[in-house]
Structure formats: C-alpha cells, structure tokens
Amino acid sequence: MGLLLGCIADDFTGATDLANNLVRAGMRVVQTIGLPDAPIPDDCNAVVIALKSRTIAPEQAVKQSLAALQWLKEQHVQQVYFKYCSTFDSWYTGEVRGNIGPVTEALMQAMGCDFTIATPAFPDNQRTVFKGHLFVGDQLLSDSGMKNHPLTPMTDANLVHVLQAQCQRQVGLIDYRCVAKGVHAIAERITELKSQGISIAVVDALSNDDLLRLGPALADMPLVTAGSGVAIGLPINWGIQPAADSAKLPAARGQQAIISGSCS
C-alpha cells in the first residue's frame, strides 16, 4: 500500500501522540526527528516528521514545515496532516500571536489547497471544542493554567478568533450540531463555507464519536490540520482497521537499545 499519510508535527511529544493514535487505528507508522535521513520501510502507511517549530518565529516555522512538505511530496503521500498541540498554543510575542496560522496558510499555498479544517480536539486527553471554544476538562482554555504559560500563554478560548488573528484567509466554524449529523452534513457545511469565501474551518468535537464522524468527511481533503485526535478517524478512509500487528517493530539488525527521555 505504501505511504498514504504524511504528517508534520510541531514538536516531538505531540508527534508521538499522533503516531500512537494512528497505530491504534491500524496504521504502520514511522516517526522521525527532523527530516528522514533513511528510507522508510515499505510496509509503512504513515510517517510523522517531528519538528521543533512550536516556539519559534512564524518565518522559521514556515521554512521548516515547507521543507518537510517537500520531502513528503517526493514520497507521493496522498494526504498531509499538520499536527499542533491540543491546547492550540504556539510562538507568542504579544504582538504576533502564534505560528499555527502562518504555517497552515503556507502549506495550503504550496499544495494549491483552497480549504482545510482546524481542530485541536483530543477527548481522550480532555481537550474538546464546543461552539469554537477550546475546553481543558471542564474549563475554558483561557481559564486553565495555559493562561499563565511562560512561553505560549493562551488567554482566549475562542479558536476562530485566535486563528483569524494569525491568518490572512477567512476562518469559520463547523459546529457540534453539524458534526453530530455526520459526513454528509459536514460536507454540505464545507461547501457553504467555501461559498462564503472561508478557507479554514474550526471544527467542534466533544467525543471520539465526533472525530470518527469527521474522518470520512476529510477523505478527499489534501491537507488536514489538527491535534492528535482527528487521526483516529482517518485510516478507515483507506480501508485500514485496527490490527494487532500494526505496532509490531521491525526485526532487529544486530544489537539495539531503547532509550526513554521521559517517564511521562
């Protein structure tokens, strides 16, 4: 089947979350730190490229992300996934608020993509989006500890506002009522938003069921932007189901070591 999904993550731990969700959904996945410097095994369906772009200036984040995109294009992946944190935070100076928007727009332009979605929802980690507002557990993001983050403070939970402040393209919303109706309603809403000149839609998701309903609606979307959660609904678009052997490691060639850099 070869590489189907190419992922660009803005940090290593988030890349690991994404890879884990894809494996749980049945995909064979390779995660790399930076651009891959070795061939990807033939039996892999997805590659996750972990960058260190979350807390760098937009210009640098765009440059790194476009380099990763170029590599993915050369592998002929069928869909690209830009992964950011489930708290939607990124580089911040007080005047320029984040690099998620600039990277999204740069990827869209490079891919000739006229529409994409954005949702950091990850219900398994208590990150949900309701009416465009991001919640951490029962708290609005702006009422959580993220409001005092020393590098990437988040003082506004309205993701449409947050993303619009970072973008030149227009940002809209696909709300929970639409998502609950399933793939056809989501597709109709996307068509409606496009007719209104909107290019990026924040998507509500309150549960994994919402993410599984969203997945099929993204089957023909060249670029998806999201946290790790949306990944659970994508493999089925290629007929891939959860399987016990998806997490099987390749055979060792000589001695190998597994090193954990964190116990969390």
Predicted confidence at residue 154, as pLDDT, reads 86
> In which region does residue 219 sit, left (phi positive, over 0), alpha (psi from -120 to 50) or beta (all else)?
alpha
Residue 87 and residue 104: Cα distance in Å, rounded?
16
pTM value surpassing 0.85: yes
Predicted confidence at residue 2, as pLDDT, reads 81
Token representation of residue 19: 């890879």
Predicted confidence at residue 21, as pLDDT, reads 97
Domains of the chain, earliest start first: 5-244 (3.40.50.10840)
User: At 118, is the secondary structure helix, strand, or coil?
Assistant: strand
Is 139's pLDDT higher than 80?
yes
CA dihedral defined by 144, 129, 83, 213, rounded to 10 degrees? Answer: 150
Single-letter code of the amino acid located at 179: V
Helix, strand, coil shares of the chain, percent, nearest 5, are 40, 20, 40
Count helices and strands (H / E) in the chain. Answer: 7, 11
Residue 71 and residue 258: Cα distance in Å, rounded?
27
Residue 48 and residue 102: Cα distance in Å, rounded?
20
Is 186's pLDDT higher than 70?
yes
Is 264's pLDDT higher than 60?
no
Residue 234 and residue 27: Cα distance in Å, rounded?
10
pLDDT tens for residues 199-235?
Answer: 999 999 999 999 999 999 999 999 999 999 999 999 9
Alpha carbon separation from 95 to 133, 156, 165, 234 (Å, rounded): 22, 14, 10, 36
Q: Which helix (H) or strand (E) holds 171?
A: strand 170-174
pLDDT tens for residues 52-73?
Answer: 999 999 999 999 999 999 999 9
Q: DSSP class of residue 231?
A: G
What is the overall mean pLDDT for the chain?
93
Residue 68 and residue 258: Cα distance in Å, rounded?
26
Greatest Cα pair distance in the chain: 58
Alpha carbon separation from 28 to 124, 172, 223, 240, 251 (Å, rounded): 21, 34, 20, 10, 14
21 in Cβ contact with 229 (< 8 Å): yes
Q: DSSP class of residue 41?
A: P
